[in-house]
Amino acid sequence: MELSSLNILFIGAAALLGIGMYGMLVSHNLIKIVVAIQILVKSALLAMISAGLARDEIQLSQSLALTVIVADTIVAVIGIALAVQVRRRIGTLDVRELSKLKG
Amino acid sequence: MAVLCVSLCICLPWIGSIAVWRCGNAHSKLQHSVASVFAVATGVMSLLLLLNPAETPVVRIPMGDFFGELTLVPDGLGIILAIIASVVGSLAVVFSIDYMHGDPQLGRYYALILFFIGAMSGLGLSGSMLLMFFFWEITAFCSYALISFHNDDPKAVSGGVKALIVTQFGGIGLLIGALIIRSYTGSYQIGDFLETAPALESGLLSAIGFGFLLAAMAKSAQFPLHTWLPDAMEAPTPVTALIHAATMVNAGVYLLARFFPAFEAVAGWKTSVMLVGLLSALLAALMATRSDDIKRALAYSTISQLGYMIYAVGIGGIFASMFHLLSHAVFKALLFLGAGAVIQATGTRDMRRMGNLSKKMPFVHATFMIGCFALAGLPLANGFFSKELILEFGLQRGPQWVFLCMLAGAGLTAWYTLRIYTMTFRGQSGEIHVVNPAPPAMKTSLAILAAGVLTTWLFAAGFSALLADSLPYHNVHVTTNISLIHEIIRAPLTYVALLVIVAGGACWQFRDRVVKKFRIPARVTQFVESGYGIDIPYTAVVRITQRASRLLRDAHSGQLNLNVAGISAALCILLTLLLAGV
């Protein structure tokens, strides 16, 4: 398979997706999970830009990406703020101890 | 004028329902009066509909391509349903002033009842199948919420859920039928469908026809989908009288009568309708003879009488069926409200603990007796005329053996009616004390309904003319009061039927001897009491659902990582499906 620059971009996006998923699966720390979500979103951004490049509509995908970056920042901020509050009130950041469901 | 009347019939109770809700439970007197005013106003509005019936839509609300036009058609069938819903509804509301006195959650109670009245009028008046389905589902919801009104009582809650589950079958059947009709005729209008139905493919038509039959069976509690109705008796008694005796359970009969011209020609449809009616009429009557709970006994009798109406539709007697529907709504509402007065005074529903109440509650006794007259089919009460009409039609049009079974059913009816009456009002005094023999609001409702039982048969002529004028596709035979009376007095069948009724009553009176003569094995009576084992599949479904939920509970661990694993697994499955090109 010929490794064009586009292919490299897509492989990078898939790799980032895998890393993010893996991070969310194995990490127990809330902050780490927020970081993993960030990586996931970055992979989506990369995929979007590459798709725009492939279809020659780079303006559209760039403007969409900008919007996503803004939304994503808010997600990150709120996630971290929640983590801080959880730590203050419950005294731990371990998601295994945060589960309140009985069953 | 007509537009205003038709829309107010639906909107007025709904506005009232919001108004009662907004009153707040702290002002119970205000709630009582607001609910009564709105209910009575709706009743008056529905009576005004009689002034100008129409066979074409008077209200049209265009809703775009997919939903078609939502229309309201005040034709004979629709008007009669709206009148029953709102007049009996207003009497039930008035009755509730005393019956629900001091209940802490009156707002919810009245709001739901008014909401129901509006929806039921709408169900009758709607000319578009989609709108009909919408109202159909609202009535099912109100029925569920009112059965479970005492939501701290587990029996009431499970009864409500059961009613909801069973009637949903019906709702789905109706929706599927409506969608099929829409895709083949391009319109949701009932009138359009009745016009084009003969041109449709017969297989398609029979699919819709039997779907609608299933819907009617679920809604009208017909065998074998009847089990929800006896369990619905946990509802407050005025609700039972309104929803589970006079109005909502009639919706199934109404549906069959409304679409009768379309499915008349479908092979086997009329026979199936007739057999459903026959089975329900007889089996439910048998169960009514074994039930000791006054409300359950009346509920079985409702199923049995609905069976008579369905049978009448099956043999093509639309007018006889609708006439019995009207009579039954009035006398069964009276019987249930009377039972409500008894239950409130004695604090029990068990008839074995009652007895000799005729002296302690003379007024309730008198009205209840009038209701019993109509239920058993004795002369001068409306039930007599409508039942004779059905039986006579059955003799002329239907197969003879079915007619003979229905005649025997009339005897059974007399048996259980006399049983309910004597166990409650005659015989030895029960162990319980009568606290409060019927306050004034209760008496008003009972008196009006009792007067209705004795007089509604006088409207037979006007009713048949109304149906014949406004239903272009139904073949309704117009009668006058005099010819009706003449016909009934001259027909030998009337006397045979009366003889059967007397024989049925005598069977109860001399039950000791009858029982000795025909030894009924204990297993048979147990089988009847257990409701013919129909509940078994239902309880199996409930049990399987509960087991499955217990098994699946482990999946709800609340562990974030586990949830992410689930999400990624689902993503993988979707991706493989996409790549495989399924």
Of residues B385 and A63, more confidence is placed in A63
User: What pLDDT score does A101 carry?
Assistant: 52
What proportions of chain A, in percent to the nearest 5, are helix, strand and coil? 80, 0, 15
Kindly report the three-state secondary structure assignment for every residue of B357-390.
CCCCCHHHHHHHHHHHHHHHCCCCCHHHHHHHHH
Q: Which amino acid is at B279?
A: L
Residue B311's nearest CA partner among B379, B392, B205, B375 is B392
B565 contacts A99? CB cut-off 8 A: no
What is the Cα–Cα distance from B348 to B292, expressed in whole angstroms? 11
Give how far A27 is from chain B: nearest CA, Å.
8
Can you give the pLDDT at residue B444? Answer: 84
Predicted pLDDT at A46: 93
Q: Which of A70-79, B52-61, B303-312 has the lowest mean pLDDT?
A: B52-61
Q: Taking residues B107-128, report their average pLDDT.
A: 89
The 3-class SS string of B297-356 reads: HHHHHHHHHHHHHHHHHHCCCHHHHHHHHHHHHHHHHHHHHHHHHHHHHHCCCEHHHCCC
Cβ contacts of B549 on chain A, cutoff 8 Å: none
The overall average pLDDT reported for chain B is 83
**What pLDDT shows up at residue B570?**
92
Residue at B448: amino acid letter = I
Q: Residue window 59-88, chain B: list those with CB within 8 Å of chain A.
A: none
For the residues B364-383, what does the mean pLDDT come to?
84
Dihedral-angle region of residue B355 (phi above 0 means left; psi in -120 to 50 means alpha; beta otherwise): left
Mark yes or no for CB contact A103/B568 under 8 Å: no
Indicate yes or no: CB of B559 within 8 angstroms of CB of A95: yes
Q: Give the mean pLDDT of B373-379.
A: 83
Q: Which of B385, B371, B379 is nearest to B453 (CA)?
A: B371
Q: What is the pLDDT of residues B440-474, one digit of tens each?
A: 878 888 888 888 888 888 887 778 887 777 777 77
d(CA B275, CA B145): 32
**How do residues A3-24 score in pLDDT, each as one tens digit?**
688 888 889 999 999 999 899 8
- Kindly report the backbone phi and psi dihedral angles of residue B75, in degrees, each rounded to the nearest multiple of 5, phi listed first: -95, 180
How does DSSP classify residue B531? Answer: T
Q: Is the dihedral of CA B362, B364, B365, B371 positive or negative?
A: positive
Contact B113, B96 (CB under 8 A): yes
Q: Can you tell me the distance from the alpha carbon of B256 to that of B36, in angstroms, rounded to the nearest whole number? A: 32
Dump pLDDT digits (tens) for B314-361: 888 888 888 888 889 888 888 888 888 888 888 778 777 777 777 778
Using alpha carbons, list the distances in angstroms from residue B422 to B221, B332, B340: 27, 18, 17
Q: Give A 19-78 residues with CB within 8 A of chain B.
A: 21, 24-28, 33
Burial of A78 (0-12, 13-18, 19+ CB in 10 A): exposed
Architecture of domain A3-93: Orthogonal Bundle (1.10)
Cβ A103–B565 below 8 Å, yes or no?
no
Structure tokens at A98: 């945060």
Give the rounded percent of residues in chain B with a pLDDT score beyond 90: 2
Per the document, the length of chain A is: 103
Chain A residues close to B564, C-beta within 8 Å: 21, 24-25
Partners of B126 in the beta sheet? B72
For residue range B183-237, list pLDDT tens digits in order.
Answer: 888 788 888 888 887 777 888 888 888 888 888 888 888 887 888 888 888 888 8
Place of tokens 């005796």: B245
pLDDT at B438 (0 to 100): 67
Measured between beta carbons, which residues in chain A are less than 8 angstroms from residue B560? 24, 33, 95, 98
Chain A 69-98, residues with CB within 8 Å of chain B CB atoms: 95-96, 98
Q: What is the pLDDT of residue B433?
A: 67
B519 lies within 8 A of chain A by CB? no
Q: How far is CA B270 from CA A13, A88, B175, B266, in A?
A: 65, 73, 22, 8
On whether the CB atoms of residues B42 and B121 are closer than 8 A, the answer is: yes
The pLDDT, as a whole number, for residue B432 is 66
Using alpha carbons, list the distances in angstroms from residue B170 to A43, B45, B85, B267.
Answer: 49, 30, 20, 22
Q: Which two tokens stand for residue B213?
A: 């039959």
Task: Look at residue A1 and tell me whether its pLDDT is greater than 60.
Answer: no
- Tokens for B506, please give them: 């005598």
Helix (H, G, I), strand (E, B) or coil at B208: helix
Peptide bond into B224 cis (omega under 30): yes
Q: What is the residue-wise DSSP string for B440-495?
A: HHHHHHHHHHHHHHHHGGGGHHHHHHHHHHH-SSS-PPP--HHHHHHHHHH-HHHH
A2 pLDDT tier (thresholds 50, 70, 90): low
Write down the pLDDT at residue A42.
93
Q: What is the identity of the amino acid at A30?
A: L
- Give tens-digit pLDDT for B235-277: 888 888 888 888 888 888 898 888 888 888 887 888 888 888 8
Tokens of B409: 């059913």
Question: What pLDDT, in 10s, does the model give residues B541-558?
Answer: 778 888 888 888 777 777
Instruction: With cut-offs at 50, 70 and 90, classify the pLDDT of residue A103.
Output: very low
pLDDT at B431 over 80: no
pLDDT, one tens digit per residue, over B153-177 is: 888 888 888 888 888 888 888 888 8
pLDDT digits (tens, 9 = 90+) for B7-63: 888 888 899 888 888 887 788 888 888 888 988 898 888 888 888 777 778 888 887
Q: Place A39 in a pLDDT band, splitting at 50, 70 and 90.
A: very high
pLDDT band at B534 (very low <50, low <70, confident <90, very high): confident
Residue A45 confidence (pLDDT) above 90: yes
Check: CB of residue B433 under 8 Å from CB of residue B362.
Answer: no
Give the pLDDT of residue B289.
Answer: 82
> What is the per-residue pLDDT for A44?
92
Q: Provide the residue ranges of all domains of chain A, joining segments of one domain with +.
A: 3-93
Give the confidence band of A80 by pLDDT, cuts at 50, 70, 90: very high
Percent of chain B with pLDDT over 70: 95
Residue B434: which pLDDT band, with cuts at 50, 70 and 90? Answer: low
| Cα dihedral value B196, B201, B203, B205, nearest 10 | 0
Q: How far is CA B93 from CA B12, B30, B492, in A?
A: 15, 14, 42
